[in-house]
Amino acid sequence: MLNIAEHSGRRCGTFDSFGIRSHFDYKGILDEQYDNRMILRDIMTSYGFKPLEEEWQHFTIGKVLFPDTYFRQHCAKLA
């Protein structure tokens, strides 16, 4: 869905910044970006996805196996 949002010409602001600017309700972005986030949220929730409030681009569907666990993954730098 992110590809649809970003590649359709709809801009939604920050992506994977893990900060306050990625929250759905953050107002320090352009009105158009905020509106696009809400459009995405409305579409996704209408199909049963649940949004992660802290990051506009993350959704889950179905049973979450580890709801209270945050998995931190470290990526190695490729040579």
Q: Is residue 65 part of a domain?
A: no
Number of domains in the chain: 1
Q: Is residue 31 part of a domain?
A: yes
Q: Specify the pTM.
A: 0.63
Which residue, among 15, 12, 77, has the nearest Cα to 43 in the 3D structure?
12
Q: Which residue is associated with the tokens 């569907």?
A: 61
Q: Is residue 42 part of a domain?
A: yes
Q: Which domain holds residue 39?
A: 2-60
User: Could you read off the pLDDT tens digit of each residue along the chain, which spans 79 residues?
Assistant: 445 555 455 566 555 566 787 888 888 888 888 888 889 899 999 999 999 888 888 888 877 777 777 766 666 666 6
Nearby residues of 38 by Cβ (< 8 Å), 6 or more positions away: 24
Structure tokens at 40: 């995405």
